[in-house]
């Protein structure tokens, strides 16, 4: 297993960068508060314009939290928005509830409703998820329209009055301005903190490469439901704020509002900290700034929105960020840098372990599996892998090799039989639970987040090695322990990349690195956790001869450290010299397990696999 997660003092250059960043954030905060003070003392017309934009900015941030970070395009934000506004208005006006007590109630209620809706909706994905959340908003709109005695029907209800400042604070100006602007600041701070925490790469890996996140120990379904609950609570809080701005009616929360919020996110820049706020300012202020014929105004707004979404897919903020990145761009290292770095990488390896060769660490007993109503892919498969061994799995295409790897690693549940890791039965456990037993895996097609750097992708592998990542994420940069752990994770990720010879590519986006570096990054994300068992699914696919030799040296080095490996591979010239034992599959059945020489000499294997 991995050694205890250690932290070391942060280097002086990093401290200097941190101080400059803190100074910059302090300056931005001062400007923001000064602008808020100005708005709090200005005329009601400007206040109304800014506050509506700020409330919709919070609503857009709530959508970007799930759409940008998890790829869940929710059309239910208008529904949660309406729940917050109606609950506040009805309970404050009709029952005299304290509005700040109602804020707590609204946040809790919308979070719970959001988690329930999320748990049901997350059974589907993509367009079907959007349709499910759209129906949720549609049902709430119909209820708000038809329950006239409670909601006021189409005419709506007059929202409650926001409490005044005490006499000693009247000099601050309009209290609602401070409340809404500070709420917007808090939401921006929450999102900014998450983006600068180790949870952010995990969320993006769930969005783009969910099997990768699961293999690293992330309970992806629970994380999705939890984040969706936070997003719903944020939308409900926006509804609480909106209730103080005037009339609350169904037209302000229907499906078109959810669609407009999505447009805000796309125009400003999806998965950016301030992009949703920029988009909200454009959408909410456009009718007031462009004061022309309403019919023509709608046409101009629609045309500009379509133009922005189609021509600027990264949004306004995304385009600006990309331009700045180009100006600060780095020169890519040579394509052969990884292979040339191998000797130095191997010199830093840990001292060899002394495995107990007699101990079976991975065992499959009578595994049966099939997809749907088709024929069985695995038939009564038995497999025993000893500690510290490299065990090869070979066979023709369609023989069940990758399916068996998925059964061992938790991606698939066998229909019959048992899977044991270190003597513990795990065939009923998900992949995230098996990672805690020291099992990690790679994939034939590298499962990585293209927009992140190799370092950030490798940090995903440390998810279950660092305590309380999820709980600390909303406050991560503010916590001394968070800053220490992040620095330690970055250092460990850099060491893992150097170990596999990809250290020169650590700061470039994965989308910009060669295929071989992608494969090495995937291997580094596994090695960084210090696993006992690694399952590698065709790791040499697409590699050049030089890269294959480099990979073989890395795997041989891992074996000297006592790591057990199960390797699925077609390239027997690469695989056989590494393996202690080889299992041959054909049509879902084991036809032979033996040494590489025994497998190579067996006439049945030569016929069904080697074609002789």
% of residues, the chain, pLDDT over 90: 59
Q: In sequence order, what are the residues at sequence separation of 6 or more whose Cβ sits closer than 8 angstroms to the Cβ of residue 309?
A: 263, 266, 267
Q: 175-184, 264-273, 318-327, 518-527: which has the minimum mean pLDDT? A: 318-327
| Per-residue confidence (pLDDT) for residue 14, from 0 to 100 | 53
Residue 280 has pLDDT above 80, yes or no: yes
**What's the pLDDT at 356?**
52
Q: Work out the pLDDT band at 612, boundaries 50, 70, 90.
A: low
Domain of 382: which CATH number?
3.40.50.300
343 pLDDT more than 90: no
Within a domain: 359? yes
Q: Considering the domain boundaries, does residue 275 fall inside one?
A: no
pLDDT computed for residue 317 by the predictor: 83
pLDDT at 298 over 80: no
Residue 348 has pLDDT above 70, yes or no: no
Whether the predicted pLDDT of 179 surpasses 70: yes
Q: Does residue 539 register a pLDDT over 70? A: yes
Tally of residues, the chain: 612
Both 215 and 364 in one domain: the answer is no
Looking at the fold, whether 206 and 348 belong to one and the same domain comes out as: no
Note whether residue 3 is domain-resident.
Answer: no
Cα 253 → chain centroid: 28
Task: Please give the residue range of the domain that contains residue 60.
Answer: 24-254
**Of 211-225, 239-253, 332-346, 380-394, where does mean pLDDT reach its minimum?**
332-346
Same domain, 517 and 408: yes
Tell me whether residue 284 is in a domain: no
Does residue 28 belong to any structural domain of this protein?
yes
pLDDT given at position 98: 95
Concatenated DSSP letters of 413-478: --SEEEEEETTEE-TTS-HHHHHTTTEEE--SS----TTS-HHHHHHHTTGGGSTTHHHHGGGGGG
Which residues pair with residue 177 across a beta bridge? none
What pLDDT is attached to residue 13?
A: 52
Phi and psi at residue 260, to the nearest 5°:
-65, -40
| 570/374: higher pLDDT | 570
In a domain, 153, yes or no: yes
493-518: pLDDT as tens digits: 999 999 888 888 988 999 999 988 99
Among residues 254, 288, 303, which one ends one of the domains?
A: 254
Helix residue spans in 209-293 (DSSP H):
210-215, 220-242, 255-268, 275-289
| pLDDT above 70 (res 4) | no
Mean pLDDT is lowest, of 54-58, 116-120, 386-390, for: 116-120
Q: Are residues 237 and 386 in the same domain?
A: no
- For the cut 90, the answer to whether the pLDDT of residue 448 exceeds it is yes
Residue 336 has pLDDT above 70, yes or no: no
pLDDT band at 314 (very low <50, low <70, confident <90, very high): confident
584 with 572: CB under 8 angstroms? no
* Residue 62 pLDDT: 96
Q: Are 220 and 213 in contact (CB under 8 A)?
A: yes
Q: Give, for 605, the enclosing helix (H) or strand (E).
A: helix 603-608
- Digit-coded pLDDT (tens) for 477-486: 899 999 999 9
Around Cβ 546, how many Cβ atoms within 10 Å? 13
Contact in structure between 58 and 187 (CB atoms under 8 Å)? yes
- Low-confidence winner among 92-96, 381-385, 500-504, 555-559 (lowest mean pLDDT): 500-504
Of the listed ranges 34-43, 288-297, 440-449, the least confidently predicted one is 288-297
pLDDT confidence tier of residue 346, bands split at 50, 70 and 90: very low
Residue 308 lies in a domain: no
Residues 397 and 496 in one domain: yes
Asked if 297 and 339 touch (Cβ cutoff 8 Å), the reply is no
Three-point CA angle 572, 573, 575, nearest 5°: 55
> Are 217 and 354 within one domain?
no
- The answer as to whether 42 is a domain residue is yes
Quote the crossing angle between the two packed helices 77-95 and 127-146, to the nearest 10°. Answer: 30
Q: Is the pLDDT of residue 326 over 70?
A: no
Q: Are residues 362 and 246 in the same domain?
A: no
Domain count, the chain: 2
Partners of 565 in the β-ladder: 390, 534
348 shares a domain with 245: no
Are residues 249 and 389 located together in one domain of the fold?
no
Among 204, 219, 254, the domain boundary falls at: 254
Do 362 and 248 sit in the same domain of this protein? no
- Within this chain, do residues 360 and 225 fall inside the same structural domain, yes or no? no
Mean model confidence pLDDT for the chain: 86
Q: Where are the alpha helices (DSSP H) in 243-268?
A: 255-268
Q: 130 pLDDT band (50/70/90 cuts)?
A: confident
Q: What is the rounded average pLDDT of the residues 71-100? A: 94
User: What pLDDT was estimated at residue 572?
Assistant: 86
Q: What's the pLDDT score for residue 166?
A: 92
pTM value is 0.88
Judgement on whether residues 88 and 226 belong to the same structural domain of the protein = yes
Given 234, 254, 274, the domain boundary residue is 254
**Each residue of 9-53: pLDDT tens digit?**
545 555 555 677 778 888 989 999 999 999 999 999 899 999 999
Q: pLDDT band at residue 353, thresholds of 50, 70 and 90?
A: very low
- Res 334 pLDDT > 60: no
């Amino acid at each position: 297993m991995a050694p205890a997660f250690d932290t070391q003092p942060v280097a002086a250059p990093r401290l200097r960068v941190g101080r400059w960043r803190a100074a910059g954030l302090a300056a931005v905060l001062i400007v923001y508060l000064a602008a808020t003070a100005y708005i709090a003392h200005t005329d009601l017309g400007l206040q109304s314009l800014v506050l509506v934009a700020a409330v919709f900015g919070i609503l857009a941030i709530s959508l970007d939290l799930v759409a940008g970070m998890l790829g869940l395009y929710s059309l239910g934000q208008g529904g949660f928005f309406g729940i917050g506004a109606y609950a506040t208005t009805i309970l404050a006006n009709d029952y005299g509830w304290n509005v700040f007590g109602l804020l707590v109630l609204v946040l809790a209620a919308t979070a719970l409703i959001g988690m329930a809706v999320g748990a049901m909706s997350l059974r589907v994905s993509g367009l079907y998820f959007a349709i499910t959340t759209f129906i949720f908003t549609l049902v709430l709109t119909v209820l708000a329209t038809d329950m006239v005695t409670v909601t006021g029907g189409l005419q709506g209800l007059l929202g409650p009055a926001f409490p005044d400042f005490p006499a000693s604070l009247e000099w601050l100006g309009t209290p609602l301005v401070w409340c809404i602007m500070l709420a917007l600041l808090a939401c921006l701070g929450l999102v900014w903190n998450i983006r600068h925490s180790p949870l952010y790469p995990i969320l993006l890996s769930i969005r783009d490469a969910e099997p990768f996140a699961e293999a690293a120990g992330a309970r992806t379904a629970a994380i999705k439901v939890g984040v969706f609950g936070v997003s719903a609570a944020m939308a409900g809080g926006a509804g609480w704020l909106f209730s103080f701005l005037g009339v609350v009616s169904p037209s302000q929360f229907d499906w078109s509002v959810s669609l407009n919020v999505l447009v805000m996110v796309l125009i400003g820049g999806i998965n950016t900290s301030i992009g949703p706020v920029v988009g909200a300012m454009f959408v909410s202020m456009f009718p007031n700034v462009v004061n022309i014929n309403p019919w023509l105004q709608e046409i101009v707004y629609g045309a500009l929105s379509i133009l922005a979404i189609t021509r600027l897919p990264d949004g306004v903020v995304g385009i600006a960020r990309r331009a700045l990145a180009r100006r600060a761009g780095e020169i890519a290292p040579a394509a052969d840098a990884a292979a040339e770095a191998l000797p130095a990488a191997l010199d830093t390896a840990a001292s060899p372990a002394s495995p107990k060769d007699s101990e079976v660490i991975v065992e499959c007993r009578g595994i049966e599996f099939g997809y749907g109503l088709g024929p069985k892919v695995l038939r009564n498969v038995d497999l025993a892998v000893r500690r510290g061994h490299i065990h090869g799995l070979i066979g023709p295409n369609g023989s069940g090799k990758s399916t068996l790897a998925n059964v061992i690693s938790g991606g698939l549940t066998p229909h019959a039989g048992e899977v044991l890791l270190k003597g513990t039965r795990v065939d009923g456990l998900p992949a995230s639970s098996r990672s805690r037993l020291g099992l990690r895996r790679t994939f034939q097609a590298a499962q990585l987040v293209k927009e992140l750097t190799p370092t950030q992708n490798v940090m995903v592998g440390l998810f279950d090695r660092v305590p309380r990542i999820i709980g600390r994420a909303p406050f991560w940069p503010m916590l001394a322990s968070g800053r220490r752990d992040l620095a330690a994770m970055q250092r460990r990720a850099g060491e893992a990349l150097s170990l596999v010879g990809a250290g020169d590519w650590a700061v470039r986006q994965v989308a910009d690195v060669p295929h071989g570096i992608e494969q090495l990054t995937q291997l580094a994300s596994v090695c960084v956790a210090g696993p006992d068992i690694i399952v590698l699914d065709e790791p040499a696919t697409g590699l050049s001869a030089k890269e294959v030799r480099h990979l073989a040296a890395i795997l041989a080095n891992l074996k000297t450290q006592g790591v057990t490996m199960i390797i699925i591979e077609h390239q027997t010239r690469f695989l056989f010299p590494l393996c202690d034992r080889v299992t041959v599959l054909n049509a879902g059945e084991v036809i032979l397990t033996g040494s590489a020489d025994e497998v190579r000499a067996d006439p049945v294997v030569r016929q069904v696999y080697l074609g002789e």
